[in-house]
Each structure stands twice: as structure tokens, then as C-alpha cells.
């Protein structure tokens, strides 16, 4: 990471964390309803039977209502498990049992599957800090999803989930950063 790009990303992440923490309960509820509606539309349009998604943390756009819908519709859900070596393992979630993982983020309790388990899903939902209008994703700085997406030979559609203000004109980019196929915000689905 170049110092200039790295410093720019760190500053943006700090600003975004602050902005997310200051959202009101009403703003969060409104965003959650829109994101849920659009994720359901996306999954329905793609006729998914299995997905990879993440358990949202308190400051993230809320994916949990969508995940509850997926479980109710017998859609298999794989969740990422962060490893110390920078790779992701996967676990099939049940929507009820979770623990705190390597970075104190929520992770499911269940049988751990290898990094290759993600190769069989129909849709990948990833967290992001920012997404630009060309589909470039800026994550939270650990590189887990960039490594995973960059290593897949045949990857299904990948969509990030962000708040409306986090869908921006451009994001700082480095060689290892991976684009996504679309972004889901409270106000809509944007495809690239």
C-alpha cells in the first residue's frame, strides 16, 4: 500500500465509522427496511438456493432481516470465519447461534468448512466501507474479501451492501482491490 493511498483509506474509514455510529435509530430502521427489500428482490431475481453473506455488526447496514428471510425460504447460507493467516473459512449458519470471531465480529457457530466452500454458492453478499460508481469496493483494511474474490476462478455475482451515502463517485484503489458486480443500498440495487 502506498503511503498516500493508505493514509487516504484510513482517514475515510475513520470518518465512515464515525458517521455510522451517529445514525439515528429511525435512519437505521429505514435503511434496514430498504436493504432487506432490495436483497430479497436480488435473491429472488437470481433464483438463488445458496448464498454467502455476513452477520452484520452493530454499525453495519443490517443484513439480519434478509438472512432471516433466506432461512425461512430454505436458502443455504455460508458465513465467513476469519483466520489469522488472512484467509476465510466458511460455516453454514442456522440464524440463531453465533459467537465473536477473530476481530470481535459476529460469526456463526457450526462446522467449519474450507476456503473452497464458497465456490458453490449462487450469490455472494459482502460488507464494504465504500463502493464507487464503477463497482470498486473499499473494505475495512484487512483484505479478506479481496483475497477470496481474487482467488476464485468462476465466481457468482458479488454484491456489496452500504448505506446510500457510501455509494460514491470514486474510491482510492490499490492493485489487490477487487470490484463487485453490484451494490445494494437502502434506495436501490445498482449493477455494474
Residue 1 has pLDDT above 70, yes or no: no
pLDDT of residue 99: 73
**Burial call 76-85: b when 16+ CB within 10 Å, e when fewer:** bbbbbbbeee
Residue 169 has pLDDT above 70, yes or no: yes
Mean pLDDT on 20-36? 96
Identify the residue with better confidence: 96 or 156.
156
Alpha-carbon distance 32 to 153, whole Å?
A: 32
Residue corresponding to grid cell 427489500:
37
Alpha-carbon distance 20 to 5, whole Å?
A: 22
Mean pLDDT on 55-74? 94
- The pTM assigned to this predicted structure is 0.91
Confidence of residue 65 (pLDDT cuts 50, 70, 90): very high
Taking only the tens place, the pLDDT of each residue in 89-98 is 999 987 677 7
Residue 100 has pLDDT above 60, yes or no: yes
pLDDT of residue 176: 82
Mean pLDDT on 7-34? 94
What is the domain partition of the chain in residue ranges? 3-191
pLDDT > 90: percent of the chain: 61
CATH of 3-191, one of 3.20.20.70, 3.40.109.10, 3.40.50.10420, 3.50.30.10: 3.40.50.10420
Distances (CA, A) of 140 to 15, 34, 69, 137, 183: 12, 23, 27, 10, 16
Amino acid at each position: 500500500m502506498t503511503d498516500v493511498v493508505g493514509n487516504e483509506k484510513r482517514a475515510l474509514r475513520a470518518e465512515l465509522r464515525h458517521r455510522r455510529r451517529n445514525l439515528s435509530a429511525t435512519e437505521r430502521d429505514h435503511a434496514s427496511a430498504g436493504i432487506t427489500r432490495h436483497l430479497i428482490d436480488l435473491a429472488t431475481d437470481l433464483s438463488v438456493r445458496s448464498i454467502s453473506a455476513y452477520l452484520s455488526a452493530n454499525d453495519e447496514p443490517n443484513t439480519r432481516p434478509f438472512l432471516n428471510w433466506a432461512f425461512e425460504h430454505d436458502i443455504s447460507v455460508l458465513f465467513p470465519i476469519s483466520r489469522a493467516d488472512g484467509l476465510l473459512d466458511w460455516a453454514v449458519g442456522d440464524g440463531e447461534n453465533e459467537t465473536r470471531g477473530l476481530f470481535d465480529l459476529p460469526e456463526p457457530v457450526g462446522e467449519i468448512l474450507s476456503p473452497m466452500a464458497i465456490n458453490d454458492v449462487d450469490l455472494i453478499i459482502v460488507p464494504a466501507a465504500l463502493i464507487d460508481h464503477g463497482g470498486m469496493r473499499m473494505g475495512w483494511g484487512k483484505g479478506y474479501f479481496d483475497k477470496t474474490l481474487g482467488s476464485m476462478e468462476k465466481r457468482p455475482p458479488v454484491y456489496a451492501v452500504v448505506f446510500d451515502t457510501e455509494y460514491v463517485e470514486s474510491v482510492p484503489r490499490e492493485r489487490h482491490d477487487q470490484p463487485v458486480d453490484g451494490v445494494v443500498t437502502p434506495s436501490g440495487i445498482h449493477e455494474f
